[in-house]
Structure 1
Amino acid sequence: MLAPGNMEEIAAELRKYEVDVAAIQEIRWKEQGIINKKEYTLLYSGNEKQGQGETGFIVSKKLKDNIIDFRAKMLKKKKKKLYENLEKEIEGIPKEDTTIVLGDFNAQIGQDDYIKQVAGKHTVHNVTNDNGTRLCNLAISTNMVISSIKFQHPYHHKVTWSAPDNKTFTQIDYILITRRKQSSVKDVRTFRGACADTDHFLVTATIKQKVKRCRRDAKKRNGALKN
């Protein structure tokens, strides 16, 4: 759990790793709000009572795409509803927009053949767990891809979470993007040196997109010059 007092420390780490937009989990702040700082903006969402439930917010300096921060609940009876709500949220975004979904999915993705259509082969797991199946099915139904395991990296640049014994590691945090925009993702990897007082490692994606130039209507331009 992160406290408001160390947000400056987290912001400094994000600047160090040149992160423009970050999703942060388990803040457990009360209700919802926006905090504007000189170099970044915090958008957070929590429950009515402070310290209860899992919350997340986005630390944003440059926010140009539709970004959804998600955390999978451990309770099985709530998983179905969570994923249904997430799917509706994605489907409600205009098709021409770029959508990015990222966060702690508590998902382990294996080497199953059907997964290859939405994910890469560079996973650290052999078997897909229940959350992994749900995540892959979500990607299939919403026409997205799981970019996190499409890039070849050493083991320590792929695992995203460390157990309290500091000997057990797993890959449970992922980044998804609209399928037609998957070529915009140039790399996804983990940085274990980022300090944020958490057992999760910093997972980063390098995304490059072209910005279309808007052309003014020639007649309107000429009319404006005459006036």
Structure 2
Amino acid sequence: MALKTRFTETFGVEHPIVQGGMMWVGRAELAAAVSEAGGLGIITALTQPTPDDLRREIDRARELTDKPFGVNVTILPSINPPPYQEYVQAIIESGVKIVETAGSNPEPFLPYYKEAGIKVLHKCTSVRHALKAQKIGVDGVSIDGFECAGHPGEDDVPGLILIPAATRALDIPVIASGGIADARGLVAALALGADGVNMGTRFMCTRESAIHQTVKEQIVANSERA
């Protein structure tokens, strides 16, 4: 029996599990496999060198699954920033209906997503940022504790503290992210008030992940020793 939460109902997925939008790892094969299994697979937009490459990657994912998947768009300060607006347009024109935003305030792009009927899940590392994201109109937030890889923020607050603080303060679905890799982590996150979980490292070790087999084996070996 499927576990229904506000996240699954809002974003139209079967299980409250999101694959992290990992640079170089979030490709069509992995995203499609996660979505086929009932979670929310994520293609990482900036892994693709150009917006046209992203269009082709989205098409490849559609060949592998007819279930919902999303695209991650991480916006970070840069001397020579990527053409973010062109990537956003590629997502919209490709008919993707879920976008994960991260790295900076997504407000400049929200009108385009909303007009296209796209649900937005924004990644936050603090309650204050999550409240701001809710105020500007995102559909859900991924709250990242200090255990989370990628962009864990500057406050160094672990998930055990941050997740319940965020779920108490917010009215929109909250996804817990950081250090979660199995059913125990999912149950713990739900007990803390979250509506689902985001997992990255666990999905790196799958057959569909593009990382080297030796790296996968080392991660598994280290996990067994732990």
Q: TM-score range by the shorter chain?
A: 0.3 to 0.5
> Normalized against structure 1, the TM-score is what?
0.37
Q: Which has the higher contact order (CA 8 A, sep 6+)?
A: 2
Q: Tell me which protein shows more helix as a share of its residues.
A: 2
TM-score (normalised: structure 2):
0.37
Which protein is richer in strand relative to its size?
1
User: Greater Rg, structure 1 or structure 2?
Assistant: 1
